[in-house]
Amino acid sequence: MHTPIDLAAKLATFTEAWQPRTVSLFNGHDVMVAKLRGQYHWHVHDDTDDFFLVLDGDLEIDLEDGATVKLAPGQLYIVPRGVRHRPRAIGEAHIVLIEPTGTPNSGDPLTAAPRRVI
């Protein structure tokens, strides 16, 4: 298959915040887009790093040590596995996430958003 994935077109298919959509697979990982508004809750991923790439808007990621990472469009940050964090969108932010398929976005399978493929 030789068709590129249009991330803006994929993002235009939904409005819900904090509900990632899988747009492709990469070596056993979901490549996802998400819209973020406001703040998410504190959480941790014990078994995997958490990859954030900002496409549009501004994102802040609060870390358990009191630091805040500020991301603008075109910037990325990887939260190391086992580090408690809380992402916060300033306005609305559009991001790319890459996680092993099946990783709960909340760090807890009971509170995670369901996997959606678009």
Strand partners, 33: 21, 96
* Two structure tokens written together for 53: 């790439």
pLDDT of 106: 61
Q: Which residues contact 3 (CB under 8 A, 6 or more apart)?
A: none
CATH no. of 7-100: 2.60.120.10
Residue 114 in this model has a pLDDT that exceeds 90 = no
CB of 99 within 8 A of CB of 48?
Answer: yes
How big is the chain, counted in residues?
118
Residue 42 in this model has a pLDDT that exceeds 70 = yes
Q: Which residues contact 114 (CB under 8 A, 6 or more apart)?
A: none
Q: What is the mean pLDDT of residues 65-69?
A: 97
Q: What is the DSSP letter of 17?
A: B
CB of 52 within 8 A of CB of 36?
Answer: no
Confidence of residue 110 (pLDDT cuts 50, 70, 90): low
pLDDT of 118: 86
pLDDT of 105: 66
Q: What is the mean pLDDT of residues 104-117?
A: 69
Radius of gyration over every alpha carbon of the chain, rounded to an integer in angstroms: 13
| Cα separation, 89 vs 8, whole angstroms | 18
Domain ranges of the chain: 7-100
| Cα separation, 57 vs 73, whole angstroms | 6
Q: Which residues contact 37 (CB under 8 A, 6 or more apart)?
A: 17, 18, 89, 91, 92, 93
pTM score above 0.95: no
